[in-house]
Structures are given as structure tokens and as C-alpha cells.
């Protein structure tokens, strides 16, 4: 049921009660905000669409103690000025009680200090920039691109048993290079191993061929790389031209059904991808509710949609647990005192609390592109040490 239909039904009920002499007070909605890159160079529209589907279902069931959730989503177009403007409008004008399910290239780095100043807490859907994982007021539900690199390296060395591992990463967004270095150092601390090549020079539109040639010269048997959906084919073709047969291990951003089918057409299958949540291309019972709701709401099935769903379902549980008035202060208190909460889509519990930084999702499952689809490689979660 859409928000408009719910509002019409509520209006009819209020009218009916008033006609029959029953005094009524319309409960004000709970305003919740999100700032995502819905358009722009690297869009993430599925996360907030999935969160909205969760909230629409809750509203259709009567809301939270009779109060509907009013989900206000702003498109920052990956423009820092728009990102800052949207935060101030949502917080100062719309009075949101929290930020929920955002997925943006730079939203955290632009707005983290503003949220801290205003006492706003964010259950981030897709944490992308480094600040998402280094703020007391922001706690993403996803593993993210930095801990994801650590997990990819661990998979290469400890599961695939590769000895000569290369790391070639795009240097985006701002501040990513230092976070990537820390991710590699974390893997070395866990395993006692080091990569034979670390190349963090790639820009998002670069041809990776010169970097692949470096890997070839180093005799690498595995390459950990990042990027988004279009980069998967670029990488596959460049490796094929160079005649370099290695294990390719990517982040969740390349785990899409389109990538699997395009790699098959290019005769370049074999890519491994890190699934931050229960792999969405499988028929596991853990994703039954998510898949049903996404199909009903016509939200594309992606890992980003899983992130929005997980963020929203966790947040609904937080709201239901608040005794008394639901406002910015009570939501902040509930998140600061939140006990670890499990989601069937995550391998580790979600936490918030009062830590200066948050990255509670440190579990991964790995899939491989084969026969035009993704096949599960690690049925059990690979769980990295929390720190």
C-alpha cells in the first residue's frame, strides 16, 4: 500500500470519528532522512528504494504506535554542495529524527561533523567514503570497500592459497588511498603476509592495462581490485589481451547479474566477488523476506538493495523498542545504547553504541561468475577479527 493510500485511509477514519462525535488528534509522522547518489557518475538508487519498501510495509500495518514513517530522500548527484544543502534541509527544516539507508560517494565526509553537532545519528545503508566508518554518529550496515579489501586479500591467501598477490585499486573517493593502505596492513597483521605489488594510482576512468602489465611482470597469481559494474568487463578484456590468467577478486560493487552474463558473453568468466550480505543470487531462506518485498515493490535485486533493507529493518526494531516519545533525542539514545542486533542477511551482529568509529559488518561470503551466473564458493561466513 502506498503512502498516499495510507494517508487517505487515515483521513477517512478521522472524518468518520469526528462525525460521530469522537475527538481525535492526528499523530504526527516520524520524519526520517536519507541522502543518496540517486543519479550522477556512480548512482546507488536501490538502497533507499529498498528502505522505502520496508517503511511502506510498516506504515501499511499501522506504523510505529500509530505514527507513520515519513521517509525523505534527497539526491546529492555526487555533488558536495548539494550534499551539504540536503543535510541542512532535512535536519533543520524537516526535523528528521535520524538518517537511514543513505548511499553516496561523499555524504559522510561532507556531513559527519554537521550530524555530530546536531546530535543526528545515521544508520548508513552503503558506506562508501572512509568517514562513513570513522565517525561516532555514523554506523554503516555494509562491510564497505576498505574492510572488503582486507577480506578479499584474506580470501586470496587463506582460501585460494595464492602466494603472489597484487593489489590494484582505484583511488576514489577522496581519502580512499590511506584507508586502502590501512586495509592492506590489516591483512598483513592477520596473516603475516605481504602483497608483491600495491598500486593505488588508478583513477576511475583510467585504462587498467599499464597496471596489469606491472602485475604480469611481478608474476602475480591473484589480483585484488575494486571498481563498479562497468569496470568488470574492462578488466576482463584487458587481462585477456595481456594473456594474464590470474585469480581476480573484486568487491561487492561488481557482484551483479549483469556482470555475470556479460563475462560469459566475453568468454571471461571466473571473477570472484565479495558478498557483504547473504548472497542475493541464491535461493537461501535467509533472503526470502527480502526477495519477496523487493519483488512486490519492484526494486532491482542487488547487494545495495540488501543494504537498504537491512538498515531499515534494524531501524524499525530500534523505533519499536523506544518507550515514550519518539524524537531525535530518544532515537539517539536508543542507538547509543543499542545491544548487538542480528539480521539474517549479515554474518555478524550490527552495533552502534558510543565508539568513535563503526564497522560492525566484518563478515563476507564469496561467489564466482560461472556459466552466466554466480556460484557460491564459501558457504560459511569468512569473519575477520573485529580489530
Would the CATH topology of 3-143+284-356 be identical to that of 145-275+364-383?
yes
Confirm if 329 and 119 have CB atoms less than 8 A apart.
yes
With cell 585469480, the residue in question is 247
In the chain, the percentage of residues whose pLDDT exceeds 70 is 93
Q: What is the pLDDT of residue 172?
A: 75
Question: Bridge partners of 303?
Answer: none
Q: Which helix (H) or strand (E) holds 72?
A: strand 69-75
Kindly list the domain boundaries of the chain, sorted by start residue: 3-143+284-356, 145-275+364-383
Residue 197 burial class via C-beta count within 10 angstroms: exposed 0-12, middle 13-18, buried 19 and up: middle
For 250-288, write each residue's pLDDT tens digit: 999 999 999 999 999 999 999 999 999 999 999 999 999
For 142-169, write each residue's pLDDT tens digit: 999 999 999 999 999 999 999 999 999 9
First CA to last CA distance, the chain: 43
Helix/strand/coil percent split, the chain, to 5? 45, 15, 40
Confirm if 102 and 74 have CB atoms less than 8 A apart.
no
* Structural fold of domain 3-143+284-356: Rossmann fold (3.40.50)
What pTM was computed for the model? Answer: 0.90
Quick check: 174 pLDDT over 90? no
CATH architecture of 145-275+364-383: 3-Layer(aba) Sandwich (3.40)
For residue 173, whether the previous peptide bond is cis, meaning omega lies within 30 degrees of 0, is yes
Amino acid at each position: 500500500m502506498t503512502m498516499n493510500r495510507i494517508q487517505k485511509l487515515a483521513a477517512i477514519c478521522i472524518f468518520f470519528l469526528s462525525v460521530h462525535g469522537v475527538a481525535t488528534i492526528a499523530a504526527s509522522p516520524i520524519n526520517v532522512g536519507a541522502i543518496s547518489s540517486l543519479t550522477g557518475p556512480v548512482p546507488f538508487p536501490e538502497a533507499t528504494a529498498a528502505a522505502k519498501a520496508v517503511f511502506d510495509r510498516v506504515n501499511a500495518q499501522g506504523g510505529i504506535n500509530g505514527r507513520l514513517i515519513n521517509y525523505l530522500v534527497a539526491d546529492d548527484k555526487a555533488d558536495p554542495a548539494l550534499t551539504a544543502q540536503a543535510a541542512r534541509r532535512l535536519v533543520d527544516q524537516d526535523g528528521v529524527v535520524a538518517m537511514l539507508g543513505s548511499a553516496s560517494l561523499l555524504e559522510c565526509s561532507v556531513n559527519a561533523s554537521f550530524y555530530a553537532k546536531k546530535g543526528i545519528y545515521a544508520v548508513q545503508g552503503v558506506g562508501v567514503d572512509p568517514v562513513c566508518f570513522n565517525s561516532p554518529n555514523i554506523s554503516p550496515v555494509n562491510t564497505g570497500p576498505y574492510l572488503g579489501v582486507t577480506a578479499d586479500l584474506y580470501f586470496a591467501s587463506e582460501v585460494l592459497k595464492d602466494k603472489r598477490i597484487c593489489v590494484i585499486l582505484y583511488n576514489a573517493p577522496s581519502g580512499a588511498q590511506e584507508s586502502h593502505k590501512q586495509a592492506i596492513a590489516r591483512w598483513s597483521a592477520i596473516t603475516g603476509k605481504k602483497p608483491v605489488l600495491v598500486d593505488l594510482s588508478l583513477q576511475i576512468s583510467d585504462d587498467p592495462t599499464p597496471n596489469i602489465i606491472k602485475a604480469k611482470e611481478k608474476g602475480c597469481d591473484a589480483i585484488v581490485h575494486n571498481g563498479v559494474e562497468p569496470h568488470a568487463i574492462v578488466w576482463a578484456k584487458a587481462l585477456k589481451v595481456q594473456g594474464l590468467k590470474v585469480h581476480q577478486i573484486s568487491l561487492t560493487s561488481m557482484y551483479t547479474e549483469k556482470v555475470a552474463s556479460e563475462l560469459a558473453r566475453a568468454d571471461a568468466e571466473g571473477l570472484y566477488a565479495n558478498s557483504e550480505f547473504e548472497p542475493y543470487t541464491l535461493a537461501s531462506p535467509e533472503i526470502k523476506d527480502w526477495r519477496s518485498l523487493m519483488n512486490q515493490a519492484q526494486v532491482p535485486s542487488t547487494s545495495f538493495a540488501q543494504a537498504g533493507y537491512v538498515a531499515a529493518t534494524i531501524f524499525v526494531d530500534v523505533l519499536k523498542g523506544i518507550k515514550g516519545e519518539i524524537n531525535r533525542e530518544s532515537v539517539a539514545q536508543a542507538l547509543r545504547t543499542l545491544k548487538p542486533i542480528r539480521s539474517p542477511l549479515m554474518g555478524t551482529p550490527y552495533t552502534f553504541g558510543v565508539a568513535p568509529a563503526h564497522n560492525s559488518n566484518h563478515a563476507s561470503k564469496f561467489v564466482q561468475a560461472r556459466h552466466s551466473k554466480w556460484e557460491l564458493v564459501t558457504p560459511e561466513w569468512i569473519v575477520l577479527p573485529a580489530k
